[in-house]
């Protein structure tokens, strides 16, 4: 199975490992991520204004490219996923945005939200299946107690993201079980890490991540996993906090392709 793939700016720079472990794992699981040609940065945050058009066009380009290849579009970074999924919803359901975006783009075939956007975790759950994943694990991470950190962007607004139950998600816990480890459910796993506030207001961001870290370690987690480079960065600012890993690193480790991924 081949998917169109949108890596995003940070996966080409500070979060190369998030990308490399995902590609190697995809290969081991029997699907291919075909990177979109000439993709552009999603902007990191979804433009909320109903009159914002230009800031949505990079997402529309990626979406239309996947549509033209007849492929579903896979994302990995939580922020890219959030932005592209919401722009796709606009293109499908908001006449004014669809018309004006298409006027800018002048595509051969106007785009109207035809592409299905999947986060890499959704590919694991809905296309591969966690039971199948479990069968392909050669190096189960037995005994590891792992706290899933969801953050905001994958879950909310749930009406559009349709990712999981926004108040009591379980996709990452199911993933943790599939790779042979033990999930630790803790109260702050879907609370905000501070996001972009950490650029100018480090103290405010620090108070938020300290609370999340204390919540996870208090419930017995030994490490946290995330899909988002910014969540990882923010959570790492807590002094003596739990280590924060990308979920794809543990996936590659369980599938026995960790070394090869970074070669």
Partner 1 sequence: MSNVSKIEKQAALIREISGVNPYKCMKCGKCSATCPAFDEMDIKPHQFVSYVQEGNIAALAESKSLWKCLSCFACVERCPRDVKPAKLIDAARQIVEREKGGDYLMADEIPTLLDPELPQQLLVSAFRRYRR
Binding site residues, partner 1, CB under 8 A: 8-10, 13-15, 41, 43-51, 55, 77, 79, 152, 155-158, 166, 191-192, 194-200, 204, 208, 228-230, 232-233, 236
Residue (of 146, 53, 148, 160) closest to 99 by Cα position: 53
Least distance CB 207 / partner 1 (angstroms): 9
CA–CA gap between residue 48 and residue 33 (Å, rounded): 29
Q: Which is nearer to partner 1, 48 or 263 (CB)?
A: 48
- Determine contact, residues 36/6, Cβ cutoff 8 Å: yes
- What is the nearest approach in angstroms of partner 1 to the Cβ of residue 44? 3
Of residues 98 and 144, the one with the C-beta less far from partner 1? 98
Q: How far is the CB of 203 from partner 1 (least distance, A)?
A: 10
Nearest distance from residue 30's CB to partner 1, in Å?
A: 30
Q: Give the C-alpha separation, 71 to 80, whole Å.
A: 18
Least CB distance from residue 172 to partner 1, whole Å? 18
Task: Say if residue 89 is preceded by a cis peptide, omega within 30 of 0.
Answer: no
**Whole-number Cα distances in Å, 19 to 211, 228, 249:** 28, 11, 9
Burial (Cβ within 10 Å: 0-12, 13-18, ≥19) of residue 42: buried
Q: How far is it, in rounded angstroms, from Cα 38 to Cα 24?
A: 22
The smaller minimum CB distance to partner 1, of residues 71 and 209, is found at 209
Q: Which is nearer to partner 1, 127 or 170 (CB)?
A: 170
Give yes or no for a contact between 191 and 223, defined as CB atoms under 8 angstroms apart. Answer: no
CB nearer to partner 1: pick between 72 and 164:
164
- The nearest distance, CB 233 to partner 1, in angstroms, is 5
Q: Looking at beta carbons only, is 3 or 163 nearer to partner 1?
A: 163
């Amino acid at each position: 199975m081949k998917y169109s793939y949108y890596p995003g700016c940070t996966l080409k720079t500070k979060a190369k490992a998030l990308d490399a472990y995902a590609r190697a794992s995809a290969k081991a699981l029997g699907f291919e991520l075909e990177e979109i040609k000439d993709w552009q940065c999603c902007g990191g945050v979804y433009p909320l204004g109903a009159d914002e058009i230009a800031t949505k066009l990079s997402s529309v380009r990626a979406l239309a490219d996947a549509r033209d290849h007849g492929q579903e579009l896979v994302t990995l970074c939580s922020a890219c996923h959030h932005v592209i999924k919401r722009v796709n919803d606009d293109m499908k359901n908001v006449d004014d945005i669809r018309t004006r975006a298409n006027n800018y783009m002048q595509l051969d075939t106007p785009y109207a939200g035809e592409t299905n956007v999947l986060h890499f975790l959704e590919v694991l759950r809905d296309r591969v299946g966690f039971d199948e994943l479990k069968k392909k694990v050669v190096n189960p991470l037995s005994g590891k107690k792992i706290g899933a950190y969801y953050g905001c962007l994958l879950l909310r607004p749930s009406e559009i993201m349709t990712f999981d139950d926004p108040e009591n998600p379980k996709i990452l816990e199911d993933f943790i079980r599939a790779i042979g480890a033990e999930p630790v459910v803790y109260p702050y796993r879907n609370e905000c890490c501070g996001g972009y506030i950490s650029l100018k207001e480090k103290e405010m961001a620090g108070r938020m991540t300290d609370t999340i870290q204390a919540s996870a370690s208090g419930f017995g987690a030994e490490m946290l996993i995330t899909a988002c480079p910014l969540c990882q960065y923010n959570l790492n600012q807590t002094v003596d906090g739990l280590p924060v890993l990308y979920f794809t690193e543990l996936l590659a480790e369980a599938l026995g392709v960790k070394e090869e991924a970074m070669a």
